[in-house]
Structure 1
Amino acid sequence: MASDDNDLSTLLDELTEAALGPALPAAMAGRPIAVYRSLVHGALQRAVESMLPRTAARLGPRLHREIELFCSERGPQTHYIRDVAGELVDWAEQSWPGRDDLAPYLLDLARHEVASAAVAAATDGADRPAHGELAIDAPAVFIAAARVVRHGTAVHRLPDDPDDASEPAPGPFALLLYRDADLALRTLELSPAAAALLERLLAGEPLGAAIAAGAADAGVPVDDALLVGTSALLGDLAERGVLLGSAVG
């Protein structure tokens, strides 16, 4: 029995390597293992097209080649098909910059689509209890479906139509992505100071420390203008249902 189990494990490893590893030799074309590899790559491509529709449309036939490269150089590490697109984008962070055959903004667009999908799929509510009053020495609590992203181009302004071929304006841009009470994805463009503050607050830093460190990150002084702007930002996020209050305990 142990020998049979080992043989089965070896076979599964070989199938995984054939499907998700380096390209097969040309002599293997048409053989069952090549057909199996093609079916697996087709499933990966459909998953990417579902999660990254605009990126996939702009890549066109090159998407198949990118999946081949991804599988050859790294391959999926996840057991869940829904996570493949995110792993592809993680790989693209190293593979795509400087490529002459890819528009420079495509990585921004892929990142944006992955982040948007993550926010759309996030759990309702928050990860910790909160009370409504903000305390300067306590972390702020946000809904789970909120995150700050940064892009070098205005990919968030592109039309949702996958067939659109317009190119985004240059940046940089910092955005807050969140899901509203109607479960719709919303996007707010942030100033450098607001983005730095929210990144620290979302990471769990106490409000006072986040204000000081965020201002330093953005290269702005902690003055009346910053404090008034911070108060307005936090009030707006509370009204939108994104900021729930200060952490309890």
Structure 2
Amino acid sequence: MTPTTTQQQEAEVTALPAPVLEVKDLHVRFEQAGGDPVTVLHGIDLAVHAGQRLGLVGESGSGKSTVSLTCMGLLPANATAAGQVFLNGTDILAGGERSIRPHRWKDIAMVFQGAMAAFNPVRTIGKQIAEPMLLHHTQPHRKAARAHTEHLLDLVGLTPAVADRYPHELSGGMRQRAVIAMALACEPKVLLADEPTTALDVIVQAQIADLLVDLTDRLGLGLILVSHDLPLVSQYCEHLAVMRNGQVVEHGPSARLRTDPAHPYTRQLFDASEEAAR
């Protein structure tokens, strides 16, 4: 008996490997002194597989960065998260900080907005890249951590000499590459890149985006690229999730969302980006 199209689709879905990161029904609420609590995320569902690039896009204030910070367990003290965040099948949100800490930087890492702010200005780049390796014991000693640091710098297109330099001695593009190297220090399975091309010129933006694509392919990372730059993200990511007012209003393959979006807000974002480019 020949299987129906629906049966074939169900079989294909079943055959897919489990996502490396899956967010289910995520809500985040902020308490306010002297005011009512404010809910900023309303039931977010996301998933990314190994080697896949997911673009999380939307205007400023839509909740994109809050999703990333929740997955990393880095929300401020006045925030409360509810829902589930599965990392390789384990709900790391269930036990709070004690559940997330062993995985942070080791299994899931983040490239923050503003490379200069991500580094301690009085410590060398090499020492800061090596620190998570020693903390999580992914390298046995400082000499091995230094060797792996130089390998990571080479991986992101920097020379080993950068390890002995301070953040202010690097250009914006070099600092951004160094931040990516630091995020890869413990060989995580998931990389969250939060506006990684902010404040960079157009040429360097393309170089950083190309680097993230290359690393995803070479290392098999699951990448979530957070940005308000819809044309950039749709060019480099196979799938998009569009956020508005703390909700995912549409998600699917980038090619479809570009040509046939189902939600009017997605069309408005693409139209606004095209208008700004003229």
Bigger CA radius of gyration: 1
Give TM-score scaled by structure 2 length. 0.25
More helix by share: 1
Give TM-score scaled by structure 1 length. 0.27
